[in-house]
Amino acid sequence: MNNFGRAVEILVAGMRFSMDDFNIEGTVPFDNDPLPNESEIRIWNLSRDTVAKIKRNEPLIVNAGYKGDVGVILHGLISDVRTRREGVDKITTLRVLDCEDLSKRTVKDVSYATGTLASRIIKDMAAQIGLPVAQFELYQDVRYTEGYTASGAATEIISKVAEDCRTHAYINKGKLYIRNLRRGKDELFKLSQDTGLIGSPEFFVEESAKGYTVTQQLQYRVTTASVLEIESEFYSGRLYVRSGVHTFSRTGDFTTQTEAVM
């Protein structure tokens, strides 16, 4: 893959904005927790009438890639629209949540009997937030021998119970995932300098994980739980993506950067 033929399109309010016609830049993050991620999209020199059609809570889709190979990197809801002048240009900045704000979806003192399984609690809380469940596979379905009381934001309860089960819970493109990053049949990406790897992976170590920060040419298919098969001078091996960000522009960065664990 080379870095020519960049393609980005924004679909919103029945309109389409292509990088062929507009200067467009943006960052689209993704991670392995159930809190909404906020992307930022910037479009140059939209007319006043066009901007007036783009409103908060309007669905927005970003497709990105290279000519002939383009896919969705963001499907969310606009949280803010602002336009400012910079010299002779007008820049409209859209902030977009990858799902609606779920912090107000709360429960209060919901009691579960002794022996209740974690899967039951997670499924109940998933129903509270109302998102479709794309995957549901617990590493260990914990049984709460003394019962369980759920109180607070449903997303936080899901996260805590999933953690008890040594499992990740996260939201991606408007869907809920309950799964382990290292399990499943996720697409494997072989990365070397010949196939899009930029620079050398940078090692990191934490109390509970170690891995590498990996930068590659933008790849819309790479997201949370993708599998990277790295071949580089300083590291070769398999990594599992836990978080990252797609960055795009006409002439600047057009990359996918990930934190991937061993």
Which whole number is the average pLDDT over 230-234?
94
pTM given for the model: 0.92
Domain positions in the chain are: 6-97, 106-179, 188-261
- DSSP letters, 171-186, are EETTEEEEE-TTSS-P
177, 168 Cβ separation under 8 angstroms: yes
Do residues 166 and 126 touch, judged by C-beta distance below 8 A? no
Structure tokens at 59: 């669905």
**Residues 166, 168: Cα–Cα separation, whole Å:** 7
Write the CATH number of the domain with boundaries 6-97.
2.40.10
CA gap 80, 104 in Å, rounded: 19
Locus of tokens 């990858």: 98
Contact present, 169 and 162 (Cβ < 8 Å) = yes
Provide the pLDDT for residue 1.
42
How far is 33 from 69, CA to CA, in rounded Å?
28
For residue 143, the one-letter residue type is R
Rg of the chain on CA atoms, in Å:
20
Token code pair at residue 253:
């960065």
Concatenating the DSSP letter of every residue in the chain gives: --S-SEEEEEEETTEEEETTTS-EEEEEEE-SSSSPPEEEEEEES--HHHHHT--TT-EEEEEEEETTEEEEEEEEEEEEEEEEEETTEEEEEEEEESS---TT-EEEEEEE-TTEEHHHHHHHHHHHHT--EEEE--SS--EETT-EEEEEEHHHHHHHHHHHTT-EEEEETTEEEEE-TTSS-PPEEEESGGGTEEEEEEEEE-SS-EEEEEEEE--TT--TT-EEEEE-SS-EEEEEEEEEEEEE-SSS--EEEEEEE-
Stretch 233-247: mean pLDDT: 96
One-letter amino acid at 205 equals V
Which of 36-40, 186-190, 212-216 is least confident?
A: 186-190
Give yes or no for a contact between 230 and 202, defined as CB atoms under 8 angstroms apart: no
Q: What is the pLDDT of residue 36?
A: 87
pLDDT higher for 44 or 234? Answer: 44
Model confidence band, residue 185 (pLDDT cutoffs 50, 70, 90): low
CATH top-level class for 106-179?
Answer: alpha beta
User: What pLDDT is recorded for position 187?
Assistant: 80
pLDDT in tens, 75-90: 999 999 999 999 999 9
SS3 (DSSP) at 164: helix
Q: Look up residue 215 and give its two tokens.
A: 């930068």
